[in-house]
Structures are given as C-alpha cells and as structure tokens.
Amino acid sequence: MRFVIPVALFFASLALQAQIMSKPPLAQAEQFITQAESRLSELSVKVNRAAWVQENFITDDTEALSADAQDQITAVTTELIEQSKQFDRINMPPDLARKFKLLRLSLTAPAPRDPALRREMTQIATSLDADYGKAKYCRKPHECLDITAIEHIMETSRDPKELGDVWLGWHKISPPMRQRYARFVELSNQGARELGYKDTGALWRAGYDMPPDAFSGDLERLWQQVLPLYLSLHTFVRAKLSQHYGPNVISADGPIPADLLGNPWAQQWGGIFSIVGLPENSRGYDLTELLKAKNLDAKGMVHCGENFYKSLGFAPLPQTFWERSLFTKPADRDVVCHASAWDIDNKDDVRVKMCIQVRDVDFVTIHHELGHNFYQRAYKNQPFLFEGGANDGFHEAIGDTIALAITPEYLQKIGLLDKVPPPEADIPILLRQALDKVAFLPFGLMIDQWRWKVFSGDIKPADYNKSWWELRKKYQGIAPPVDRSEADFDPGAKYHVAANVPYMRYFLADMLEFQFYRALCRESGYKGPLNRCTFYGSKEAGEKFNKMLEIGQSKPWPDALEALTGERQVDAGAILEYFAPLKKWLDEQNRGQKVGW
C-alpha cells in the first residue's frame, strides 16, 4: 500500500497540470493555488488527527501512522512548491502573490524530494517527539518521574542536592536523540536548499514579511531595549539566591546555576518567588490557594478561561471541545504532556491537550492555550493559506495578552478574590510577573539563535552542547549545575527542540502581548497604571481584538498589528512601561551589587 500513494500523487499531478495549462497564465495561477489549498486542507486534517492520536496514545503503531501522514503532506507540499515556480514571472494581485509566498514558507521541516530521504526525516521527527513524551527519570527503581513531576519538584523543593539530582536526571533523556537530531538537521537543510533557501534557519526567518537579515537585526534592536530590565532582575535574583543557599552554592557575581531557578530549563523563575526576600503574603493573595479554596478542578479552570473570552463577546467553545480535549494526565498511558492547542479540521474542532494541575501557573497557561483556539475560530473563514497567525509570534501572544489581564481586579470580578490588594502590593505582583515574563526573554531569544547556527553549520554536531551553554551564559547569565560535555545533548531536553517547533515566536510574543494589552486597556477606557488594568467584560476591547484576529495571515503582520494598536513595528515600549515601577525598585535594591556576570 505504501507504494500506491506516490504513484497516485504522480498521476493526479499530471492531470492537474494538464487542466491548468489550458488557461491564460493568471487564470492558471489562480486555479493552481485554489486546488493546492483544497488538497492541503484535506491532508492537514489527516495529519492533525494522526498527530493527536500519536501524542495521546504513544505506541510504535501511532508513531508510524503519524509519520506516514506527515510524510504524505510533506511530499504533496514539496511537489506543489516545485510546481508553483512556473508562475514566478507572472504579475499577480497582492492576495494571490501572498498565497504563493506562504505556500513556499509552509514547511517548518522542509524535506528532500527523494522519497526515501523524506520518509527517513519524518520518521526521525516523529520518534524524537515520542521520545520526549515517554521520557522519565527513575531516581529509584519504583519511582519514575515524568516531566510534570519534575516541574513540580523543581518549583517547590529548596534542597540544592535534590534540585541538582532532578535537573541532571531529566537531562539524561536527551543524549540518545543527539545522532538522530544531527541527521534530521542534515536532511531538513537539504530540503530547504531544494526549495531555494540557504538552510532551514533562513527559511524560518523568511516568514516575517521582511528579509531574513533584517529580521535578525530587528531582534537585536528589541533585545537591547529590554536588556537593562533583565540585568536588573538577574542581579536581584542572584543576590537573593546567594543569601538563601550560601556563596558555596552560588556566587554573588557569576552566572546563576540552572537548577536553582524553579524550572527544569530555567526559562521562567516564578517558582522561586518565595525565596526572593518578600513576605509570602506580600502580594495579598496566593492564586494556587484561591483556586483550591474554590474547589476548582481542571475542567473548572478551563471554564474560567473560556469565560474571559466570552466576556469580550466571543462565542462559547463548541461542545466537541469539552468532549475531545485532554485536561488531565491519564493514569494508564504515556502522553505528551506539553500544553498545546489544536485545530483539527480548520473549522470548529478545536481542542487543548494539557496535564492540568490545580496551581497558578496552569491557570495562566489555560488562558494562553485558549488564545490559540479563539484565534483559530476567528480566522476560520479565511482561505486555507490565510488560516494562521499574522506571524507565529502573534499566535503565541493572543492568550498571553489575556493572561496579563489576570489581575487582582479580575480575580475579584470572577469571585476568586474577596478584596483587591492595596497599591503597596504592586511591587510584589510585578516581581512575580517579571520572574516569568522578563526572565523568559533571553531564553526565548537564544534557542533559535542556537538552532539557526546549527542549521547554517556555524555550530557543528561536535559542538552542540558546548555552544548551547555558551549562548545560555551570553544571553541568560545561566550556567549548568555540573560539568557538561559532548556526551550530553541538553538542547533535546527542551520539548521545542525535540519536536522541531520554531521558538522565536515566543520571544516576539513576549513583546507583542504587552503592545496588545496596552491597546486593549486603552480601548476599554482604562486610565490607571498599566499593570493594574483588566479589560475583562469590555465588548469594545473584544470587538477591536477580533478585527485583528479575523485577518489571520491574509495581510502582512504590520497591517494586523496596526489594526489593533495603531503601530506598525514591534516595540518594547509597552513592556518597559508595564514594569517601570519594578525597574526603579530593583535598581534601588541592587545598589552596591555587580551587574552582569
């Protein structure tokens, strides 16, 4: 049966070409893209269903089914891109030209045209994803920890020996990925070159409506804007950790050990709020305790998230969302627990997949993931190639924008909090927010800085781990808790590397969400300090929001940004305004401390 698919595709391609070539050139191009969208839409549903089953029921069989589905759509997309080159010299209307451009940028993992090599690449990609989903650290014969348990320990433990042990245990999952990952890079680069790109990283950077080099320069501009804020936070946190654990565990002027920051990847530091020197109740509330006091379970937390979007005027989620989503980790099987949002049929079959715990971070994550789903529903009437975020950073920023509005005022409105804390609680609240949002910025930037250099060949397989930690030190001021070598493959211990998910979207989202948030606060009529705003219940804000969302990918992203904010450039001004009171406070606390590492 596997030999029938390529032959069928070959004859279907010949028939399509003959039909199209009988028309004038522009009409040919229009018919080609219409039929391409129809084929890709149909195949995408099959891929989505196979991937959903594979991530929810991890077996050799589901891996094979998912790999087969991905291989088929990759083959068809690659062939369509090759065929599309015949229309390169035709003068097209902007919408049609944009569809051709998006078609050529649609493969995150471009594969070689050779069927055997293409199949090899898709099988590698599926196996890496599955390996991550099945991974456990067994610190005792009958005590095996999955990533959910690992995250909980690293967030709550204050024993440096346990933290170091668990960190090291999780990072033992990835060395077996290393050789396959290097081969994946090689094959993906071959596919990218066959499509006309220098390498896969160049293809990724081409997806931002500007030349790849200009995009890299824009990222550096944004990083320099926020670097002083990050340095202030890093200096403060390092000093507090040194006081807590002692100078024999962490120095007062060097990089911070990666296992002491409350997260397996040191990407967000909110888990260590309790040891940064402020009283436990200084924020006026503990969101985890509020959720437990209301006896909210996983599905109840999701209903809270949905209600926020409904308060803005968005339609309720369909019944199938509640029937088909995964909200908690099954007891009887392995699943990929990394939180994700799904649009199975490009219309209404939207879902989330999460292993929800009743805690503050999951409450925020729920609001984030639902942002994907409501975005997907907003642009569902666009043509297939326009069904996407204005850029991938937009898709990540939508739910994060809503999550920023999880303020004490919002918690009071939905009955979780009896009394809004006084203004003196703003610094603790902002600090808790910064430990996630500001701490994340360099991590969001460095992952693809590493991958782009891997794809370009600037980082060779023999230097994967060394270069990973050099970039983490450069951008984050983070160091491994124990010596690492090229026998390790620490990048693979991060889901997005194992699953080949581009990561610069998250750095952009961290900027965009504050721009979106400020615009929605203004639209709702809010006049106070930016960090205290919630636009919950504002139909005016919701209407403006939806106008941007329904554009999807049909226009260059500056057009979508302008529709909501009136601005055409990603800018850190809003995030700096939001955290301005905290920056002033941090600098006062840091007097006499060394800044940097």
Tokens 């436990």 correspond to 280
* Residue 490: band (very low, low, confident or very high) from pLDDT cuts 50, 70, 90: very high
**CA dist., res. 430 & res. 581, Å (int):** 8
User: pLDDT grade, residue 277 (50/70/90)?
Assistant: confident
The answer, yes or no, to whether residue 19 has pLDDT greater than 90, is no
What's the mean pLDDT in 69-76?
Answer: 91
So what's the pLDDT on residue 20?
A: 56
The confidence score (pLDDT) of residue 493 equals: 97
pLDDT band at 4 (very low <50, low <70, confident <90, very high): very low
Phi, psi values for residue 171, rounded to 5° = -75, 0
Q: How confident is the model at residue 423 (pLDDT cuts 50, 70, 90)?
A: confident
pLDDT digits (tens, 9 = 90+) for 105-163: 998 999 999 999 999 999 999 999 999 989 999 998 889 999 989 999 999 999 999 99
Token code pair at residue 53: 């089953």
State the pairing for strand pair 137-140/143-145: antiparallel
Q: Any idea what DSSP says for residue 248?
A: T
At 13 the pLDDT is 56
Share of the chain above pLDDT 70, in %: 96
75 touches 12 (CB < 8 A): no
Residue tagged active-site, from 369, 396, 513, 523: 369
Q: What is the mean pLDDT of residues 476-500?
A: 97
What token pair was written down for 508?
């952009």
Confidence of residue 14 (pLDDT cuts 50, 70, 90): low
pLDDT one-digit tens code per residue, 499-556: 999 999 999 999 999 999 999 999 999 999 999 999 999 999 999 999 999 999 999 9
> Residue 6: is its pLDDT beyond 50?
no
Q: What is the DSSP letter of 318?
A: P
Assess contact for 441 and 510: CB atoms under 8 A. yes
Question: Which own/partner contact pairs does 92-96 have at CB distance under 8 Å and 24+ positions apart?
Answer: 92/26, 92/29, 95/554, 96/29, 96/30, 96/33
The DSSP bridge pattern shows strands 143-145 and 350-353 to be: unpaired
Radius of gyration in angstroms for the set of CA atoms belonging to the chain, rounded to a whole number: 24
Nearest to 450 by CA among 181, 225, 254, 226: 181
Q: With the C-alpha atoms ordered 139, 145, 147, 149, is the resulting torsion angle positive or negative? A: negative
Alpha-carbon gap, residue 208 to 211, rounded angstroms: 8
Q: Is 341 helix (H, G, I), strand (E, B) or coil?
A: strand
Question: Residue 369 catalytic?
Answer: yes
pLDDT at 11 over 60: no
H/E element holding 234?
Answer: helix 212-245
Active-site residue, from 338, 367, 372, 496: 496
Q: What is the pLDDT of residue 5?
A: 43
Q: Which residues have C-beta within 8 Å of that of residue 574, sequence separation ≥ 6?
A: 514, 515, 517, 518, 530
Mean pLDDT, residues 325-350 taken together? 91
Give CA angle at 99 (49, 501), nearest 5°: 45
- What's the confidence (pLDDT) of residue 279? 72
Mean pLDDT across the chain: 93
